[in-house]
Amino acid sequence: MRIDLEYGDGRLPVDVPDDVRVVAPGLLYEEPRGLDDPVGATLRALRNPLGSEPLHTLAGPSDRVVIGFPDRVKGGMHATAHRKVAIPLILDELVRAGVKDENVTLVCGMGLHRKNTREEFAAYLGDDLLRRFGPTQIVNHDAEDPAGMVTLPDSELGDAVNFNRRAFEADLTIMLGHTMGNPYGGYSGGYKMPCTGFTGWRSIRAHHSPKTMYRHDFVPVSTRSRFRDQLTAIGQRIEAAMGRPFFLVDAVLNGRSEQMEVVAGTPPEVEAATWARAAERTEVTLEGPPANVLVVGIPRTFHYGPGMGSNPLLMLQGLGSWITRAKKALDERFVVIGASVCDGWFNDAWFPSYRATYDALQEVHEAANLVAFEDDFSTNPEWVHAYREAYAYHPFHGFSMAYMGGVAVRTALEVMIVGATNPGYARGMGARPVPTFEDAMRRAEHLLDAPARALIVPEASKPAVHLSVRA
């Protein structure tokens, strides 16, 4: 049969055997329906939280409140998206408690991602909210603002802890999260929201690093890993210093970014409830033997932004991410085939440090050795300024992406890139450029010395599932 793989700005049609397994809703799994009444479900969650009193009882008329919300990478921009539904309802509950609008600040927890523009805020928060709160009340987290961050004692696991001062000093800190499958620690949301969205690069590198990502418990993806333990320890250190827990409002989302469930309350209770519900959508079990070939179609633009599928660091990050999600459905010996235009367009405006990070990778034996460059790159004044003032990704972000790309190189028998228009960039990432998909499949069978049993992900841009095979 013919499958259209995402590729650059279009599609790459490939012919595959009829017995391949295609990772897509309606073919390998069914996408569950969203809630009929997400507004009612969210209000019930706010008034019946887990491990906490109802929201309207947690603040008073003179209290300062921070509402943290995720950036544009997840959650959708439709009328009933979690942010658009939850924030007005939270504000209603705060008004009920006597909290004045002027004492509320909305902070975008973009962590080391690029800051969001006012137009982007309008797209996924709604114009009404932007009319209600001015530019000084809807702001981006700034991990490089010396006055805007607090440094706390290391976590129980010895990791650096720094945190957004507004969120730390507020009388009540509310965090919105999206519980979806994530190659880093199983699911987004929970403690992951404050501990990556509101911390600085030194704290984030504690877990987005080879010493955590190359452990045995990082691949396949799991919530029972050192990575997840580090997030919990950092989050609990922040809560202990604040003297109160975060109040989470997390939505379990399906592949259309529709709410399947909304849960509010303290982080441990919210994580337990949302992960169990999210597993119903995210964990997919396949029949038959494990695959020995993983095929992934990579577009030029997906969740990190334009250039993700042509920037070689992000291209390989996408493949490493899919290995973490699919490893329980793959044979011990497997090959990865990625379809990517791989033309070396880094999108320097959004990712100004990435070209230099790629060049540094050429000077070392493997991605793990990039740690030697972290401090110099992450404090580079030009790149830090671009993060703070020019809507660019933080320079450490490139390292965390390179390390996930290293997962692909370290785990697969070989990584091949089909359709690279500048093959040298594929080689520079430790991958092998191959002219055609047919050539790649023939080489895979030669390397495996066995017929190919392919698992095909035609659209890397779509929300992902976690795969396993039935024993």
Q: How far apart are CA 64 and CA 198, in angstroms?
A: 18
Q: Extract the tokens encoding 455.
A: 């698992």
- Identify which of 312, 305, 314 has the alpha carbon closest to the alpha carbon of residue 401: 314
- Residue 413 clears pLDDT 90, i.e. is over it: yes
The CA distance from 245 to 236, in Å, is 8
38-282 is a CATH 3.40.50.11900 domain: no
CB 291 within 8 A of CB 21: yes
Domain boundaries, the chain: 2-30+287-469, 38-282
Residue 18 has pLDDT above 90, yes or no: no
Separation in Å, CA 35 to CA 81, 259, 455: 11, 6, 31
* Cβ proximity of 325 and 181 under 8 Å: yes
Distance (Å) of CA 158 to CA 161, 206, 354: 9, 9, 29
* pLDDT attached to residue 167: 98
Confidence category of residue 73, pLDDT binned at 50, 70, 90: confident
- Is residue 398 scored above 80 in pLDDT? yes
Residue located via tokens 């291209």: 315
Residues 303 and 461 sit within 8 Å (Cβ to Cβ): yes
Q: In the predicted model, is pLDDT for residue 471 greater than 80?
A: no
Task: Domain 2-30+287-469: state its class.
Answer: alpha beta
Instruction: Provide mean pLDDT across the span 51-57.
Output: 97
Question: Is the four-CA dihedral 74, 78, 80, 83 of positive or negative sign?
Answer: positive
pLDDT at residue 239 in the model: 98
- Distance CA(216)–CA(214), nearest Å, equals 7
Distances, alpha carbon 208 to alpha carbons 112, 183, 271, 345, 398, in Å: 12, 11, 20, 24, 11
What is the C-alpha to C-alpha distance for residues 378 and 381, in angstroms, rounded to an integer?
9
pLDDT at 57 over 80: yes
pLDDT band at 447 (very low <50, low <70, confident <90, very high): very high
| Average pLDDT for 314-326 | 97
Q: Is the pLDDT of residue 245 over 90?
A: yes
pLDDT-based confidence at residue 395 (cuts at 50, 70, 90): very high
| Alpha-carbon span 431 to 428, nearest angstrom | 7
13/15 Cα distance (integer angstroms): 7
The one-letter amino acid at 190: G
What average pLDDT does this structure show over 249-265?
97
DSSP string, 265-328: E-HHHHHHHHHHHHHHHHEEEE-SSPEEEEEEEEESEETTEETTTTSHHHHHHHHHHHHHHHTB
Dihedral through CA 233, CA 47, CA 72, CA 130, nearest 10? Answer: -130
Q: What is the pLDDT of residue 72?
A: 86
Exposure string of 48-80, with b = 16+ CB inside 10 Å and e = fewer, is ebbebeebbebbeeebbbbbbbbbbebbbeeeb
The domains spanning 2-30+287-469 and 38-282 adopt the same CATH topology: no
How large is the average pLDDT for residues 23-45? 95
- pLDDT at 314 (0 to 100): 97
**Alpha carbon distance 45, 96 (integer Å):** 16
Mean pLDDT value across the chain = 96
Are 297 and 12 contacting, i.e. CB atoms less than 8 angstroms apart? Answer: yes
Mean pLDDT calculated for residue range 206-233: 97
pLDDT for 449 beyond 90? yes
What are the tokens at 272? 């337990």
Position 74 scores a pLDDT of 85
pLDDT in tens, 110-131: 999 999 999 999 999 999 999 9
**Single pTM value for the model:** 0.96
Question: Quick one: pLDDT band at residue 75, thresholds 50, 70, 90?
Answer: confident
CA separation for the pair 393, 351 (Å, rounded): 5
Nearest CA to 440 among 338, 324, 340?
338
For the cut 90, the answer to whether the pLDDT of residue 288 exceeds it is no
- The span from the CA of 397 to the CA of 387, in Å, is 11
d(CA 55, CA 49): 8
Rounded Cα gap, residues 140 and 124, in angstroms? 14
Q: What is the DSSP letter of 24?
A: S
